[in-house]
Amino acid sequence: MSTLDSLFINTCMVISLAYVVSLTYQDWRTAERRSMVLLRTLLCSGGAILLMFHGITIGDDIQVDVRAVPIVLLMLRYGIGYGLIAIAPVLITRVIYFPVQNINVYAMSLLLTFILLGLIRSRMPDGRPDRRSYMVTPLLVFSVHTLPVLLSPVAGWYFSHVFIWYFLANVIGFYLSAQILMTRIEYLKATEHLRQEALSDPLTGLLNRRQFEKDRARFSTGDAFLLLDLDHFKQVNDRHGHAMGDEVLRQLAALLKSSTRDNDRLYRMGGEEFLVVLRGIETQQAITIAERIRETVEHHVFPVPERITVSGGLVQFSTPGNLNQLLEQGDHLLYRAKREGRNRIKRELRERLDPQM
């Protein structure tokens, strides 16, 4: 097999390896989890060994392949430590199956690569490579990487016949692999962004009715449901315009967030109607939070002269049953609060809601 054929096969293989590694990115928020990074380290190490077996030997000890590409990519993103883990099996395989006659060439090549990558990472903001790092790194690393070949007896022939193809194969393989990985992460971020837009209310940032329908199966005994409705909100819109009404809704959403717990779920069900799901909560605590929300809204200074208040209905999920009936019950309590003068929470709770996370 000719050198060009071998490098072409290597380049195709390293691109395939990058695709396989990209599949380990399932959620960009957990992409840096240690277990996943170790998995990618093993994949890069195994891929490098496979690339080495599909390379070609020049002279007694010059092995031409692109096995450095996955290792360099790994070290650039995750650091020298993971690079050392990945390179160890590659070194062992190299010694066993491709004995090195001139150890100085191989050792110096590795040393220069590690030093250069260490310098590049030391200049990266917050230790994360950007597009500039991905552009510059292969040009520097794969230029310096082969300089120790000057110590080999076949140096002249190598640099006149092989070096340019070796350099191009490594650089192209690096760029394409990096692009595959970055595209995967960007795709996951974009998908998450679209999902958030589809399942959240763009005005208030709270969850929307569509998300509530998806969450139905999560609710269980021990949860309490607080249905809220702004009092006289139509008058705010009529007198001050919808822009001011939107600001009132945004501020109300912020008050709901500050008055509830981290594991509670907040939904804007439509218009000025909101739903607070208090997860795994005791009766008295549910009452306390509901009243705290009402009082917080009552005393908050909204950007309108009218006093803004809320009315609500608080019900419990005491036994597995029809959630629609439970919400209808809460709705009746809400409108009962409206009829009795507004700015109040009507409730129908048993003595205790069993905590259920």
Q: Which residues are catalytic?
A: 272
Residue 268 phi, psi dihedral angles, 5° rounding = -100, 110
**Residues 207 and 199 sit within 8 Å (Cβ to Cβ):** yes
Which of 303, 329, 304, 298 is CA-nearest to residue 316?
Answer: 329
Eight-state DSSP code of residue 126: G
- Got the DSSP string for 38-97? HHHHHHHHHHHHHHHHTSEEETTTEEES-THHHHHHHHHHH-HHHHHHHHHHHHHHHHHH
The CA–CA distances, whole Å, from 195 to 201, 208, 271 equal 12, 12, 21
Kindly report the length of the chain.
357
Provide the sign of the torsion angle of the four alpha carbons 244, 246, 248, 251, taken in this order.
negative
Closest to 66 measured CA to CA, from 40, 95, 90: 90
User: Scanning the structure block, which residue is given the tokens 């496979």?
Assistant: 50
Which SS3 state, helix, strand or coil, does residue 298 take?
A: helix
| H/E element, 131 | helix 131-144
What are the angstrom distances between the C-alpha of 43 and each of 47, 57, 115, 125? 6, 24, 23, 27
* Amino acid, single-letter form, for residue 221: T
Tell me which residue has tokens 């450095």.
68
Q: Which two tokens stand for residue 275?
A: 């739903």
Residue 317 burial class via C-beta count within 10 angstroms: exposed 0-12, middle 13-18, buried 19 and up: buried
Q: What's the burial of 252, exposed, middle or buried (CB within 10 Å: 0-12/13-18/19+)?
A: buried
